[in-house]
Amino acid sequence: MQPIIHLFVLVLVGFVVVWFLYLGFAPAWMSLNVQLEKNMLTHSRHCDMPLYSPSFLEGRKDVVTVTPWLAPVVWEGTFDTNLLDAIYKPKNITVAMTVFAVGKYVQFLKDFLESAESYFMLGYRVHYYVFTDQPEAVPMVMLGSDRRLTNIKIPGSNRWQEISLGRMERIENFIETQLINQADYIFCLDVDTKFYGHWGVETLSSLVAAIHFDFFTKSRDTFTYERRRESQAYIPYGEGDYYYGGAMIGGLVEEVYNVTKTCRMWLEIDKGNSIEAVWQEESHLNKYFLYNKPTKLLSPEYLWYPTYHNDVLKIIRFSQVLKDYSKVRPN
Ligand code: UD2
């Protein structure tokens, strides 16, 4: 009889212990899980995260979407605007944009600014800085809330090359003396351009370059890099990644500062040696980006040319406008 009583007592004690554990701890686990789930649900609702599962197998297969150094290349179909906004909106960022309109190039400002108001960084704090020799000719454009425009007066020039390459020094000084603590990101754009589609936070990264529309289907030995050894912009045949357009530099303010400072120094050395790179600051930018790889590349959707066509482009977001060089340039 006694072993049976022992066994019965053992089972009873075991049952009591299990019951105690269930009453004492299980509700705690359960409520923790419920709480976590609640948090996740609230978080996902709050952030408006997508309900679908991103795929490793679906996606663009007609274009390269990542560089050999693992920087993304931004194309339509490679990003989710809602998801990106959910990440960037809470960061409360300020985006600066510089644009130069000197001499007859002021005529491009109206379309440029109006189209930027329709497509550029909508929903974010944007501050345009217009560098011009004619502040009085800067058009009054209705700006959205949280968007500002400041004119910065600079002298004109009788050489278009000086105006274009001079942007490096002016942006460098501007960042150093004013912008460094006033904005998080900056984009420096050409003015003879227009926005045609969404340009949002998918373009943000430390250092951002745009692939030039003329060269994205070509091999590097056809690129118009500076090929003269005497220039600081020199890139030998057999070297180079891509050809980037001078019409767009972007990124964190401090990164763009480094770009402009370095290019300004190289331009000064070239000037001292009486050489001007074949495509002015664009040549130096290409040299810079070869040794300081951009962390994000914008596809030609973000820098296009009006008369061009290519089926891989599902959308054109930003394009040069056609211009008669002999009518707008001072030389
Ligand atoms: C290319 C580049 C440009 C620059 C230039 C250097 C592209 C699409 N464009 O364009 O960024 O690197 O080569 O040779 O990559 N500007 C004035 N007034 C003038 C002349 C120029 O304000 O009289 C400013 C203006 O902001 C203009 C920019 O400088 O957008 C570049 O000049 P451009 O557009 O005439 O240069 P372009 O077409 O040769």
Nearest CA to ligand 1 atom 20: 160
Look at residue 32 in the predicted model and tell me its pLDDT: 34
Per-residue pLDDT reduced to its tens digit, 260-275: 999 999 999 999 999 9
- Give mean pLDDT, residues 270-293: 98
Please give the Cα distance from 191 to 212 (Å, whole number).
Answer: 16
Nearest CA to ligand 1 atom 4: 246
Pocket perturbation via mutation, ligand 1, pick of 109, 159, 164 by most ligand atoms within 8 A of CB = 164
Please give the Cα distance from 48 to 188 (Å, whole number).
Answer: 31
Q: What's the pTM value of the predicted model, to 2 decimals?
A: 0.86
Instruction: For residue 279, give the DSSP letter.
Output: T
Pocket perturbation via mutation, ligand 1, pick of 190, 249, 282, 286 by most ligand atoms within 8 A of CB = 190
SS3 27: helix
Phi and psi at residue 134, to the nearest 5°: -135, 75
Contact, 191 vs 163, CB < 8 A?
Answer: no
What's the CA-to-centroid distance between 39 and ligand 1, angstroms? 51
What's the CA-to-centroid distance between 91 and ligand 1, angstroms? 33
Contact, 321 vs 306, CB < 8 A?
Answer: yes
Helix, strand, coil percentages (3-state) for the chain, rounded to 5, are 45, 20, 40
211: Cα separation from own chain's centroid: 12
Q: Residue 241: pLDDT above 70?
A: yes
Look at residue 67 in the predicted model and tell me its pLDDT: 98
Q: Which residues are catalytic?
A: 282
Per-residue pLDDT reduced to its tens digit, 121-156: 999 999 999 999 999 999 999 999 999 999 999 999
CA Rg value for the chain: 28
Helix H or strand E segment including 18: helix 2-24
CA angle, corner 172, sides to 197 and 272, nearest 5? 120
At which residue do the structure tokens 């509700």 appear? Answer: 27
Look at residue 5 in the predicted model and tell me its pLDDT: 75
- Give mean pLDDT, residues 101-114: 98
Q: Residue 40: pLDDT above 60?
A: no
* Pocket, ligand 1, Cβ cutoff 6 A: 100-103, 105, 160, 163-164, 190-192, 212, 245-247, 279-282, 320, 329-330
Please give the Cα distance from 274 to 233 (Å, whole number).
Answer: 14
Look at residue 4 in the predicted model and tell me its pLDDT: 73
Give the confidence band of 49 by pLDDT, cuts at 50, 70, 90: low
Nearest CA to ligand 1 atom 33: 164
